[in-house]
Amino acid sequence: MCYLLIAKNLKQEKAFGFLEDLRKKFLSFYDSDRIYTAFAFELKPFNEEIKKLMEFHQKNPKTKNEILKDALVESAVYIQESYEQLLDRDQKLTIISEKSQTANQNSFIFKDQVIDSSEFNFLYILNKYMFEFI
């Protein structure tokens, strides 16, 4: 099977992109037995598909490579934004972790102060009552 395109003022990428789409469409439209056993003009119904492909490629000025490149650029922008959001979250989590550690340390200090003051209060009350009974 041979695919041929004759065109003026058409980028090479665009021409080969059209031929590649034409080949894929043709092979999906007909199986190999049908293609190799067909007589002249027997595959004429495929002309409508060729017209559709031609219209599509005329309306879409970008080649597949350009479309892919645009998609990659969009993906790169999305990845960069996601990375920046992750950095912001990491910063916030670091701050929260530091505050949590500080609160934990303060709770131990407070606990020690409460135990010390309760022992002091207990001894003070014990001494006070002991002297009253003596």
Whether residue 23 contacts residue 3, with contact meaning beta carbons closer than 8 Å, is answered with yes
Under a CB-based contact definition with an 8 Å cutoff, are residues 29 and 49 in contact? yes
pLDDT of 102 strictly over 80:
yes
pLDDT in tens, 120-130: 566 665 565 55
Q: What is the rounded distance in angstroms from the CA atom of residue 16 to the CA atom of residue 101?
A: 63
Residue 53: domain span: 10-61
With respect to residue 95, please indicate whether it lies within any of the assigned structural domains.
Answer: no
Torsions phi, psi for 105 (to 5 deg):
-65, -40
Determine the pLDDT at residue 78: 94
Confidence of residue 97 (pLDDT cuts 50, 70, 90): very high
Q: Is residue 23 assigned to a domain?
A: yes
* 126 belongs to a structural domain: no
In a domain, 105, yes or no: no
pTM above 0.75, yes or no: no
Predicted confidence at residue 105, as pLDDT, reads: 82
Domain count, the chain: 1
The answer as to whether 3 is a domain residue is no
| Count of beta carbons in the 10 Å neighbourhood of residue 18 | 21
Could you give the 3-state DSSP secondary structure of residue 87? Answer: helix
